[in-house]
Structure 1
Amino acid sequence: MRPTTTRRAHRLTGLALFCAGFAAGPVDAQTLPPSLIVVLVVDQMRADTIERYSDQWTSGLRRLLDEGAVFREAKHSYFGTLTCAGHATIATGTVPRTHGMILDGWWDPMAGQRVRCTADDTVEIVAYGPGARERHGPAHMLVPTLADELRLQNDPPAQVAAFAVKARAAVPLAGRRGDAVAWFDAGNVWTTSTAFTDAPLPFIANYIRAQPVEDALGLVWTPLHGSSATTSTKGGDFAHTLAAEPGREFYNAWRRSPWADQYVTGLAIASVDALALGAGSGTDYLAVGFSAPDYVGHDFGPHSAEVQDIYLRLDRAIGRLLDHLDRNVGHDRYVVALSADHGLGPTPEHATEMGLDAGRIDRREVIDHVNAVLEPFFGPGKHAVGMTHIEFYFALGVYDRLLASPEALSAVLEALEQYPGIHRVYRGEELETGPFGDRVTQQVARSYYPERSGDLVIIPKPYWYTWVRAADHGTGYDYDARVPLVIAGPGIIPGHYSTAAAPEDLAPTLAFLAGVTLARPDGLVLTDALSDRNRP
C-alpha cells in the first residue's frame, strides 16, 4: 500500500511527474495507447461498499478490484454531490465551478422555474418509439469532455458511445458529440437527440426491437443465490414484483430494478460490435452509466438488502461486458475506469434511532419562512422563490435590495442559521474568491458557479437532507463524497493505493494514457498507478 499523502503533495508530485512524462511522450515505448477507453459510472456507490460486499463479488467488480489500481481514499472534492455534477466531473476532469453542471439543475429567475442540467432547447428529440417528451443535449456544459478531446485530437476521430437510463448521466459522459448515445426518456422510451444523430441508429433500434423493456413485465426481483440478505429493508420477504401491464407503475419499478442496468449493459455490448469500438488505429470511447443503484438506494437506504443485491447483479453485468471486450477488443487493448457520482447517507430515521441528530429540511417551508422574515422589511410577497438542494434563490432584484439593507440581510441569515438542520449559510459573493480557510468552504466554493448558483448557499448539518426521500445525498460529507475509484488495463499497476485521489482525476489520467491533452482540468494524473511513472 502506498503511503497516504495530502492532496497538495499529491498535486505537486503529480505535476512534476506529468511534466517529465509529457516531455518523454504519453506512455513509455512498451505501453501503447489503449484502443478503447471504457468509463463505468455507478449512480450512487459509497466507498465502503467494497468493504461491505466485495466478498460476494465473483465477476466484473471482483476482476476490477483484483486487476486494477484501487484508490481507497478517493472522494469528490466539492459539496453538491448529485448525478449530473458527478457524471460531468468524471467526464471532464473538472469540478462544477469549472464545468458549470451544478447539482442536477438550477433555478432560472427569468423563467421562474428550475432548469434541468441537460435540458437543451437547441436540439430535437430523436426517439426509438412513441411518447418521448424531453429534449436533452450538452448545451449547458462549459468545458469539453474526455470524449470530445479524443474526437478532436485523434486521427481518425474517436468513436464515442454512451448509455444510461438517466439523460443527466448519458449526456455529460458523451459530451458535445457522440456516435451512439441513448437514455430512457421520461415518456418511457429509449431516446437521443439531434446533438448526437439526426435519425435513430439501426443497431440501437434493432436491439430495442429484439429485447423490449417490456420483456420485464411481471418479473419478480428476488435476491440472487449467494446474497446474504433475503429480507427487505421495508419488512417482509425480499420479492418486488413488476407490474404485469405497461404503464407508469411498471416503468418506475423497472428503473429501480437490476434489469435496467442489464439493459444498458446490453446496449453497450451492441455498440462495441456495431461500431467496431477498439478496432481502429486510435482510441475509442465507451461510457456506461448504471442508474438503478441510485433509485434503489433512495428507496431502501445504503445498507439495505436491495442495495446489496443490486451490486451483486452489477458485478455480473460488468463481468458480461468485460468478457465481451476481451473477446472482441482484446484483454490488453482497453483500459477501464470505474467510479461513482456520489455516495448516500443513512435514512434519517435510522440515524435518529442510533442517537444522532438527523432529519429532513422541507425546502418549501424554508422559502415560506424566509418570506415571512422579509415581510416587515419589504412587505408581503414572494421574495424568496426557489431552493434546489443547497442553492437558495430570491426573485429578480430582491438580493440587491438585501445587500442594500444590512438589517434585512442579517435577519434572513440569522433566521436560516437557526433553522432546524441548517449548519451554515453562505452569501454567493463569499464563494467567488479564495483562498478559503476551512475544508467545507473549499468544497462549497468548488460547487459554486455564479451564473447558476443561488444567491445564498445553505449547508445542512450532517445527516440532514433537503429532499423528502427515504435516503439521500447531495452534501460534501464523507458518506456522500467518498466513492470507489478504480483503473485497470495496460499501463496501470494493480494494487491498493492510499494516496489522495478524486473522480476528477480519472479524465486526466485516461487522457494521459491515450496521449491527448485536456484543455483545463482541475484533476490530476494519477501517476502512482502508471507503469512508466519513474521514466526520466
Structure 2
Amino acid sequence: MTVSKRTVSALILGAVAVMQSFSAVAQVNAKPKLIVGIVVDQMRWDYLYRYYDRYEAGGFKRMLGEGFSCENTYISHLPSFTAVGHSTVYTGSVPAIHGITGNDWTDQVTGRKWYCTEDTTVSPVGSNSDAGKMSPRNLLASTITDELKLATNFRSKVVGVSLKDRASILPAGHTPDGAFWLDDANASFITSNYYMNDLPEWVKKFNARKEPQQLMSKPWNPLYPIATYVQSTADDNRWEGPYKTETAPVFPHNLPAIYAKDPGSLRSTPFGNTLTLDFAKAAVEGYDLGNNTVTDFLTINCASTDYVGHQFGPNSIEVEDTYLRLDKDLSAFFSFLDKKVGKGNYLVFLTADHGAAHAIEFMKEHNLPAGLAQDRKTMPELNTLLKDKFGVEGLVKSFQNYHVNFDLQKIAANTNLNFDAIKKVTVDFLVKQPGIQFAVDIENIGNSAVPEPIKSMIANGYNPKRTGQVMIIPEPGWFAGSAKGTTHGNWNPYDIHIPLVFMGWHIKNGQTNDITHMTDIAATLAAMLHIQMPNGCVGKPVTAITQTANTTK
C-alpha cells in the first residue's frame, strides 16, 4: 500500500501534537526540586515597603518583582507568639488543634510548666547542655513537611534551620532528616537524638569554621551614613535597650566586648541572620537538597530580626540596618539557589511568625495611646481580692501568654469553691485595670461582648489542657512586657498583619489584596504539590497562586 506524502505529514503532525500534549501534562504535574520556607521573625508586613527604596535588586525587591504577594495576610489566633506562628504556618492549623499555645505554657492537668519543644526523653547531640533536649513531640498535628514525606514514601529530604530550637524543630515536623539550632554555650549548631545520634560531617565542618566568633569580631556600624536612615528615629532614645556592656544604645556597637560578656548576644545582631543563611547553604550542599527524584523541603527561620526588634523597637536605626543587611543576605542566598538548584526549579515562600508593636515610650512621645498592661501589682491584688471573696489563698498561679492560670488542683480540693464565680470575679477585676480592654471567660465566650475577629482568635488559641481559662485583651498600643524595646502577642494589625510572598517554580508575578490567613500557607503548598493537607489544617488554598501553578507551562 502506498502512503501519500500528505498522509505521512498528517501522521507526523499528529504524533508531534500528542507528544506536546504529554509534555504539557508533564510540565503541569512536575514538582519543584526544592521548597524553601523562610519565616522572618517579627517581620511586620510594612517592612516590605518601609525600606523598599534601600533594598537591592536580588532580595526583597526580587521577591516582589518576580513573585506573588498576598498583601493582606493575617494571623487568626491568639497569642501571636513565635512557636505558635511557626506551628501554624506549617500545620495550617490553630493552637486549639496543633497544641502549641505559646513558647511555653502551664499544663492545666498537672500544673507543670512546659517549654514548647522540651523533651525529657531525648539527649543533646553536639552539645552537653540542656539546649539539646528538644524534639517536636509536643506538636499535636502533622506539618506540610510531614505530609510531603508521607506523599513520597519518605524519599523527600526535609531539614529545619534556625538559631532558635523551636523555629527549627516545629517547621521541620515529626519526620525530618534533621533539625539544627544554635547552642550559645559552644557557639555551634546542634540537634538531639530524636533525629540522629551524631552530627553529620558537614555540620561538624561548618561548626569548625567558628563563624560566630568571626562575625562578632568587629564593631557593628551602619551599612550607610547614619544620617541617611530617615525611616528611623535618632540613634539614642530612652526606649531602646542597650547591650549589657553599653551605657547607651548607640552605634558603633562594640561587638567583641559585648560577645565576650554575653555569648548569646550574636542573636541580637544582624549577623545572626548571616550565620543562619550560611548554615542553610551548607545544609543544601550537605544533604544535596534539590537533586532528588522527588521534592525536598528546607525550612529557615531568620531569628535575629526578632531579637533586634525586641531590644531596640521598630523605629530604631538598628532594625532598619538589620533589614538592609538581611536583604543582602537573601540576595546572596537566592543567587546560590539559582546556581545550585536552578532558577525556576525551586519554590520559595517568605512570611513571618508575628509582627511587633511600636515601643511604648515612642508612642507616648508622639501623643499616641500606649502603656504597659498587667503590671507587677495586678496578680497579687487579684489574689488578695479572691482570698477576701472565697477564703482561699493563691487561687491564681500565674499570668502567662495573656491567659490567667488558676490553681485548679486547689480549687478541686475545696468542694465549696465555685469556679464560675471565681472566674467572674477575676474578669470583673481585670477589666477595671489600666490598659485592659477585655477579659474573657473563654468557656463562656459566647456570652461575652468581645467583637469579632477577636472572639474567634481567642477561641482558635484556646486549648483546655494548655491554656488558662481567662484571657486578657489589652487596649491598642498596650502590652505586657517592658518599656524598653517592644514585644508582640496581641490581635492588633501591627502584631498579626504579616508578609506572604511566593517566588520561583510556576509562580506568576502579581499580588492580591484579598484577605488570606497564616493557616492558608500549608493548604496552598499542599494544593500546588498535589498532596494531602496536614491532618489539622483549617486553611484554604490561595487560588490566585494555585491556579497559576497548575496551568503554567
* Alignment correspondent of 2:6: none
* Alignment correspondent of 2:344: 332
> For the residues of structure 2 that align with 1:118 and 1:413, how far apart are their CA atoms?
31
Pairing of 1:67-466 with structure 2 (within 5 A):
67-109=66-108, 112-127=111-126, 129-155=127-153, 157-185=155-183, 187-189=185-187, 190-225=189-224, 228-229=228-229, 231-234=234-237, 237-244=250-257, 247=260, 249-362=261-374, 364-379=376-391, 381-398=393-410, 404=418, 408-431=422-445, 438-466=452-480
1:515 aligned onto 2:530:
yes
> For the residues of structure 2 that align with 1:411 and 1:433, how far apart are their CA atoms?
16
Amino acid at match of 2:120: D
**Is the CA contact 2:438–2:450 (under 8 Å) kept in the aligned structure 1?**
no
Helix, strand or coil at the partner of 1:77: coil
Superposition deviation, residue 225 in structure 1:
2.9
Change (3 A) 1:423 1:436: closer
> For the residues of structure 1 that align with 2:93 and 2:459, how far apart are their CA atoms?
13
Amino acid at match of 1:102: T
Q: Deviations over 1:477-508 (max 9, x none)?
A: 10000010001112222112111112221111
Change (3 A) 1:433 1:132: same
> For the residues of structure 2 that align with 1:120 and 1:337, how far apart are their CA atoms?
30
**Is the CA contact 2:184–2:264 (under 8 Å) kept in the aligned structure 1?**
no
Amino acid at match of 1:292: S
Counterpart of 2:27 (choices 27, 30, 42) is: 30
Change (3 A) 1:490 1:110: closer
Q: Deviations over 1:212-260 (max 9, x none)?
A: 422234421111137732852537752111134865x332321111111
Change (3 A) 1:399 1:233: farther
Amino acid at match of 1:181: A
**Is the CA contact 2:109–2:465 (under 8 Å) kept in the aligned structure 1?**
no
Query: Which deviates further from its counterpart, 107-116 or 347-356?
Result: 107-116
Superposition deviation, residue 64 in structure 1:
0.8
> For the residues of structure 2 that align with 1:40 and 1:461, how far apart are their CA atoms?
31
**Is the CA contact 2:38–2:300 (under 8 Å) kept in the aligned structure 1?**
yes
Amino acid at match of 2:214: D
**Is the CA contact 1:155–1:282 (under 8 Å) kept in the aligned structure 2?**
no
**Is the CA contact 1:243–1:250 (under 8 Å) kept in the aligned structure 2?**
no
Superposition deviation, residue 406 in structure 1:
5.5
Change (3 A) 1:496 1:28: farther
Counterpart of 2:55 (choices 54, 57, 75) is: 57
| Bigger CA radius of gyration | 2
> For the residues of structure 1 that align with 2:209 and 2:509, how far apart are their CA atoms?
39
Superposition deviation, residue 161 in structure 1:
1.1
* Alignment correspondent of 1:524: 540
Change (3 A) 1:252 1:420: same
Change (3 A) 1:229 1:291: same
> For the residues of structure 2 that align with 1:197 and 1:345, how far apart are their CA atoms?
39
RMSD between superposed Cα atoms in Å: 2.5
Amino acid at match of 2:191: T
> For the residues of structure 1 that align with 2:448 and 2:144, how far apart are their CA atoms?
28
**Is the CA contact 1:95–1:504 (under 8 Å) kept in the aligned structure 2?**
yes
**Is the CA contact 2:423–2:470 (under 8 Å) kept in the aligned structure 1?**
no
Where has structure 1 moved over 6 Å in runs of 4 or more? Answer: 432-437
Amino acid at match of 1:150: L
Identity of aligned residues (%): 30
Superposition deviation, residue 396 in structure 1:
2.2
**Is the CA contact 1:220–1:241 (under 8 Å) kept in the aligned structure 2?**
yes
Change (3 A) 1:94 1:405: closer
Superposition deviation, residue 398 in structure 1:
5.0
Q: Deviations over 1:266-320 (max 9, x none)?
A: 1110111111101111010001100001111111111211111111111111111
Helix, strand or coil at the partner of 1:74: strand
Query: Which deviates further from its counterpart, 283-292 or 183-192?
Result: 183-192
Equivalenced residue count is 507
* Alignment correspondent of 1:3: none
Superposition deviation, residue 351 in structure 1:
1.5
Gaps of 5+ in 1: 1-26
Counterpart of 1:46 (choices 40, 44, 47) is: 44
What is the TM-score of this pair, normalised by structure 1? 0.89
Counterpart of 1:471 (choices 462, 475, 486) is: 486
Query: Which deviates further from its counterpart, 62-71 or 488-497?
Result: 488-497
Q: Deviations over 1:458-489 (max 9, x none)?
A: 11111111122521100011000001000111
1:483 aligned onto 2:498:
yes
Change (3 A) 1:336 1:408: closer
Change (3 A) 1:361 1:281: same
Query: Which deviates further from its counterpart, 328-337 or 428-437?
Result: 428-437
Superposition deviation, residue 111 in structure 1:
5.6
> For the residues of structure 2 that align with 1:197 and 1:493, how far apart are their CA atoms?
39
> For the residues of structure 1 that align with 2:310 and 2:538, how far apart are their CA atoms?
30
Q: Deviations over 1:321-376 (max 9, x none)?
A: 11111111111111001000000001111222222331112454322121011111
Helix, strand or coil at the partner of 1:220: coil
Query: Which deviates further from its counterpart, 419-428 or 512-521?
Result: 512-521
Superposition deviation, residue 514 in structure 1:
1.9
Superposition deviation, residue 191 in structure 1:
1.9
**Is the CA contact 1:43–1:291 (under 8 Å) kept in the aligned structure 2?**
yes
* Alignment correspondent of 1:504: 519
Change (3 A) 1:405 1:334: closer
